[in-house]
Amino acid sequence: MNLQDQVILVTGGTSGIGAACTELFARNGAKVIAASIQEEAGRELANRLNAAGHRCEFQYCDTSREADVKATVEMAVAKFGRLDAVHANAGVLRTQKITDLTVEDFHILFNVNVLGPALICKYAVPVMERQGQGVICFTTSVAAEIGFPAHGVYGATKAAIVALMRSLVTDHSPHGVRFVAVSPGTIDTPMLAASCAGWDKPREAIYADVAQRIPVRRLGQPIDVANTVAFLLSDQAGFINGSVVYLEGGTRCLPPW
């Protein structure tokens, strides 16, 4: 993939998949804006990449807040003069059965996982249409299609992202903007680690058990996703539009018995 001098905004860009994307894009010549609510981690990541001769800016951004999203897109354009790509990656997870659902958790999940990407598009798409080109990649999840226990509302938010993407294609691709998505399975991230809290087995044992259930016999790594997103954002993927790329090691191929 060729990302040289591309201006790329990554939301949730300071941890897990987002951090891997920020680093990979920067090391491949992109000018990256890493946006998240993790201020300390974000400044540390940006400082490390800049010290190595790359270009990275940290921007505090709660993607569920419209003012933050607007300011982040405006900062990218003011700093670099354009916005070539966005990886709408920020997300949160709550694991609970529907009978244990709180309205507060419902709103948090939908505000971050659905409203956030919608707001990103609201402000990034007009910039890209004025340029005549741009691409937005969403992070969805195989939980949108597989009935993971205690993931009902989370899975619903990720399914909503796919529906949003496909409508955006019909509205805005004629004006030069592509929309794509990656759908990770079990990826070794801090979010996955946090989901292991409260189990009666140590995290390492849980991971080993899960790995044996995945056909490739390992968990995914953030770099697995980052490599795919980098390709999707590049001109080499210019005819890929409205598509979801699955990164789950073959989990979706397993029989139900």
Strand partners of residue 137: 87, 180
pLDDT at 202 exceeding the cut of 90: no
Please confirm, yes or no, whether 154 is among the known catalytic residues: yes
Exactly one of 60, 123, 154, 246 is catalytic; name it.
154
Can you state the angle between helices 116-131 and 152-172, rounded to 10 degrees?
20
Residue 66 and residue 229: Cα distance in Å, rounded? 25
Answer whether 0.85 is exceeded by the pTM. yes
Beta bridge partners of 39: none
Domain segments of the chain: what residues? 7-187+221-248
- 127-159 as b/e, with b when 16 or more CB fall inside 10 Å? bbeebeebbbbbbbbbbbbeeeeebbbbbbbbb
As beta bridge partners, residue 55 has 31
CATH number for 7-187+221-248 (one of 3.40.50.300, 3.90.1150.10, 3.30.70.360, 3.40.50.720): it is 3.40.50.720
Tell whether the model's pLDDT for residue 198 goes beyond 70: no
pLDDT digits (tens, 9 = 90+) for 22-79: 999 999 999 999 999 999 999 999 999 999 999 999 999 999 999 999 999 999 999 9
In degrees, rounded to 5, the angle at the alpha carbon of residue 133 between the alpha carbons of residues 59 and 141 is 60
Q: At 169, which amino acid appears?
A: V
pLDDT tens for 12-32 read 999 999 999 999 999 999 999
Contact between 6 and 76 under an 8 Å Cβ cutoff? The reply is no
